[in-house]
Amino acid sequence: MLTTGKKEFWFVVGSQHLYGEEALAEVKANAQTIADALNESGILPYPLVLQDLAVSADKITSIMKEVNYRDEVAGVITWMHTFSPAKMWIRGTKLLQKPLLHLATQFNESIPWATIDMDFMNLNQSAHGDREYGFINARLKKQNKVVVGYWERPEVRQQIAQWMDVAVAYNESFNIKVARFGDNMRNVGVTEGDKVEAQIQFGWTVDYFGIGDLVQYVNAVTDEEIDALFAVYECHYEFDYGTYSRENWEKSVKVQASYEIAIKRFLDDGGYTAFTTNFEDLYGMKQLPGLAVQRLMAQGYGFAGEGDWKTAALDRLLKVMSHNQSTGFMEDYTYELAAGLESILQSHMLEVDPSLASNKPKIVVSPLGIGDREDPARLVFDGKAGDGVVVSMADFGTNYKLLINEVSAYEPTVPAPNLPVARVLWEVKPNFQDGVKAWLENGGGHHTVVSLNLTTDQIITYAKLVGLEYVVIK
Ligand code: MN
Q: Could you tell me the residue ranges of all domains in the chain? A: 8-173, 177-473
Q: How far is CA 26 from CA 20, 23, 77, 383, in A?
A: 10, 5, 19, 52
Asked if 402 and 458 touch (Cβ cutoff 8 Å), the reply is no
* Percent above pLDDT 70 for the chain: 100
* Mean pLDDT, rounded, for 151-174: 98
* Mean pLDDT, rounded, for 249-274: 98
Identity of the amino acid at 48? L
Domain boundaries 177-473, CATH class: alpha beta
Q: How far is CA 279 from CA 84, 289, 437, 458, in A?
A: 59, 9, 30, 33
Q: Report pLDDT for 62.
A: 98
Q: Treating both helix axes as pointing N-terminal to C-terminal, what angle do 309-321 and 154-173 enclose, rounded to 10 degrees?
A: 140
Ligand 1 centroid – CA 345 distance (Å):
14
pTM of the model: 0.97
- Which of 150, 101, 143, 147 minimizes the C-alpha distance to 124? 150
CA atoms within 13 A on the CB side of 390: 29
Give the DSSP letter of residue 185: P
- Band of residue 372 on the pLDDT scale cut at 50, 70, 90: confident
Query: 8-173 is classed in which CATH architecture?
Result: 3-Layer(aba) Sandwich (3.40)
Residue 311's contacts (CB-CB under 8 Å, 6 or more residues apart) are: 191, 304, 329, 392, 393, 445, 447, 448, 449
DSSP secondary structure string for all residues of 77-125: EEEESS---GGGGHHHHHH--S-EEEEE--SSSS--TTT--HHHHHHS-
Identity of the amino acid at 258? S
Residue 38's contacts (CB-CB under 8 Å, 6 or more residues apart) are: 44, 48, 151, 157, 160
The pocket of ion ligand 1, defined by CB under 5 A, consists of 305-306, 331
pLDDT over 90 (residue 104): yes
Ligand 1 centroid – CA 13 distance (Å):
48
pLDDT over 70 (residue 320): yes
Q: CA torsion sign, 1 to 7 to 303 to 324? A: positive
CA–CA distance, 324 with 2 (Å, rounded to integer): 9
Q: Report pLDDT for 2.
A: 73
* Mean pLDDT, rounded, for 430-443: 98
Average pLDDT, the chain: 97
CA–CA distance, 67 with 186 (Å, rounded to integer): 44
pLDDT over 90 (residue 229): yes
Ligand 1 centroid – CA 348 distance (Å):
6
Ligand 1 centroid – CA 371 distance (Å):
13
- Band of residue 3 on the pLDDT scale cut at 50, 70, 90: confident
Q: Report pLDDT for 369.
A: 83
Ligand 1 centroid – CA 268 distance (Å):
25
Asked if 319 and 300 touch (Cβ cutoff 8 Å), the reply is yes
- Band of residue 1 on the pLDDT scale cut at 50, 70, 90: low
pLDDT in tens, 33-53: 999 999 999 999 999 999 999
Asked if 317 and 302 touch (Cβ cutoff 8 Å), the reply is yes
Ligand 1 centroid – CA 350 distance (Å):
10
Ligand 1 centroid – CA 349 distance (Å):
7
Q: How many CB atoms lie within 10 A of CB 289?
A: 30
Residues pairing with 73 in the sheet: 8
Q: Report pLDDT for 370.
A: 81
Ligand 1 centroid – CA 346 distance (Å):
11
